[in-house]
Amino acid sequence: MGRKYKSNRIRNRFPLCNRITHGKRGTIMKKNLPSFILLFSLSLMTACSIPLDDNPRDLSANLPDALLPPASTTTQPPAPKETVKIFLAKANQDGEMKLEPVNREISGDGSINVILDQVLAGPTLTEQETQLVSPFAEGSKVIGAILENTLLEIHLDSLNGFPQDDSKSNRLAFAMLVCTASELITGADISFVQIMVRQNDSLEAINAPVTDGDPPEEGAPVLCSNYASFMTEEDFS
């Protein structure tokens, strides 16, 4: 009897988390096995302090910053640069304004609009130091361009950036835009240029003033050769 009592005392010294209840002859009682397993599992969860939550918890809420996963970032690749040519203007030795081709580095998107907008923007500060000029003022923007066969339609939001008179400067502005499109844009076969301006919700073709050749019909396209007076022998083709 004393030995059995001693054995029970030793067994009772182990915590519940490390004990397994046995039946007679050291085997788990098979008769009440399902109930026994359920009660045993609940006892272990309670005794070993396993939390039972109705809803999942955000375990990262209490983590120090050093242990948190890095935030995801999206890095956009820089837009590719390309060098294009546009026409500005420069006075020759006789004081006559002639078209002058210049290089521009732009972030191209594959459209003609970006190149033509460079014409409307006028010379940079560095270009002004080399006596390059432009008749354009702020107020006009290229809103679209459509190339069909060899005809390019240039769509403008307004003519506010053009000289507002029937002067030589006004013709120079059209010469810069038309000849840049037909002579300097690579990868496109452009011969004719038609200027269209947004009026309310539609686009209307305008009569582009010219310096050479017969005046075009109402809203008809023009050629760079219609501005031959502004071209030099080296640049005109």
Does pLDDT of 57 surpass 80? no
- Rounded to whole angstroms, the Cα distance separating 85 from 6 reads 102
Of 237, 167, 181, whose CA–CA distance to 209 is shortest?
167
Residue 99: its pLDDT value, please?
A: 98
pLDDT (tens digit per residue) in 93-116: 999 999 999 999 988 777 899 999
Q: Which pLDDT does position 70 carry in this prediction?
A: 57
Instruction: Give pLDDT, residue 201.
Output: 87
Percent of the chain at pLDDT above 70? Answer: 65
Top pLDDT among 11 and 233 is at 233
SS3 97: strand
- Does residue 12 surpass a pLDDT of 70? no
Residue-level pLDDT at 184? 94
Beta bridge partners of 104: 84
pLDDT digits (tens, 9 = 90+) for 173-207: 999 999 999 999 988 899 999 999 999 889 999 99
Distances in Å between the alpha carbon of 94 and those of 130, 192, 237? 17, 30, 23
The rounded mean pLDDT for the chain is: 79
Share of the chain above pLDDT 90, in %: 54
pLDDT winner (highest mean) among 7-16, 29-38, 63-72, 221-230 = 221-230
Return the pLDDT at 200: 87
Phi, psi of 135, deg, nearest 5 = -80, -5
Judge contact between 190 and 148, C-beta under 8 A.
Answer: no
Q: What is the rounded average pLDDT of the residues 60-71?
A: 50
163 and 169 Cβ atoms separated by less than 8 Å: yes
Token pair in block for residue 208? 């582009």
